[in-house]
Chain A
Amino acid sequence: MTRFDDALIDALREIINIGVGRAAGTLNELLGQHIALEVPQIRIVDQHELDGVAPGSSDKTVSMVMLQFSGEFSGFSTLLFTADCASKLVDLLVDDETPSSELDAIKTGTLTEVGNILLNAVMGSIANLLKSHLNYTIPRYQEGSLRVLLDSIWANDSESALEITTRFTVQSSQITGEFLVLFEVGSFNTFISGLQAAFDE
C-alpha cells in the first residue's frame, strides 16, 4: 500500500478542499445561505473502522445519497445527513404547497438530486485537477442505520479504503451534512500518481 507522507496528505487535503469548495458554492446558490466548511479528515481505514464517521454514531438513522464512481480510480462518494437535517434541507428547497401525500416522493427526489449535484461538484473537480475522467452510476438515496448503509456499499470487508470526510454547515438553518468519500484500495496508486503529477506541474 502507498505510504502517505505529509506533503501528499497536504496535497490530498487541498484537492478535496477545492472539490468541496465548489460543492459549497453550489449549495450556497441553491439555498442563498452561507455554507461553513471544516478541514477534511483523511485516513486509511478497514471496514469495521467506518463507525467513527459522522453524522452521529453508526446506529443512528441517516439520510444518504451515494454516487459510485469508476475510472482510473474508483470508489463511493456519499452525502450524509441526520434525518432532521435532511428534512430541514428539503423544507428550504420545496414549496409549502406540496400535497402531503407526495411529500415522501418529493423528499427522496429532492435529496437525490441535491446529492447528485454536490457529489458531482466534489468528484468532478477532483477529476479535472487530476486530468482524469470518472464514470458515475445513477445516484441512490437511502435511509437507515449508517452501519448498515455503509456495509451495503462496501461489501468486501477484507479491503481497506482511503476515507475522506468533510463536514459542512448551513449556518443560518443549522443544517449539518457530511461528505464521505471512499477510494477502493486497488485504485490508491493510480489516484496518488495523478495527485503527485497534478501538484508537480
Chain B
Amino acid sequence: MAVILHTDDSSFSRLQIGKVLKKAGHELLHADSGKAALALLAEKTPDLIITDILMPEMDGIGLLEALKAQGNSIPVLVVTADVQDDTRATCLALGAFELINKPPKDEELLATVAQGLGRGKV
C-alpha cells in the first residue's frame, strides 16, 4: 500500500476519493491548493500525487509546472471536472501520467492509481 498526496480544494471530493483510497489500504495526505501541496512535498515524499486543477492560490497546472521544474519523479494523476481535450493534453505534457474526470468510478480510480504506482518507486 502507498502514501498518496491528494490535492483538492473541495472537501466533498477529498471525502469521496479519500474514502475509496483508504478502503483500499492507502495512506492519505491532504492539501487544498498547489501551494499547500508544494509545502507538504518539501517535508514528505509520497508515492503518488493526485491533484485537481481548479484551485485557489495555485491551481493544478501551476503545481504540475512547479513539479516539472523541480525534476519531480513522483507519479502525478490529475482528477478534475474539466473535460476539455486540451486540458488533458496540457496536463500530460507537463508530466501527469493520466487524467481522469470527476466523479471517478471506484474501479477506475484504483486501477489508475495502481498504474501510477507501478511507474514510481514504491
List the B residue with the shortest CB-CB distance to A127. Answer: B84
**How far apart are B100's CB and chain A's nearest CB, in angstroms?**
12
Report if B20 contacts A (CB, 8 A): no
Interface core residue of A106, A117, A119, A139 (most chain B CB under 10 Å): A117
Interface of A is mostly: helix
**How far apart are B93's CB and chain A's nearest CB, in angstroms?**
14
Q: Is the CB of B13 within 8 A of A113?
A: yes
Interface residues contributed by chain A, number (CB under 8 Å): 26
Report if A21 contacts B (CB, 8 A): no
Q: Is the CB of B83 within 8 A of A124?
A: yes
Interface residues contributed by chain B, number (CB under 8 Å): 20
Indicate which residue in A110, A114, A125 contacts B83 across the interface (CB closer than 8 Å).
A125
Report if A155 contacts B (CB, 8 A): no
The CA of A37 and the CA of B69, in the complex, are separated in Å by: 46
Indicate which residue in B56, B80, B101, B103 contacts A30 across the interface (CB closer than 8 Å).
B103
Report if A138 contacts B (CB, 8 A): yes
- By a beta-carbon cutoff of 8 Å, the part of chain A in contact with chain B is 22, 26, 29-30, 93, 105-106, 109-110, 112-114, 116-117, 119-121, 124-125, 127-128, 133-134, 136, 138-139
- By a beta-carbon cutoff of 8 Å, the part of chain B in contact with chain A is 9-13, 54-56, 80-87, 101-103, 105
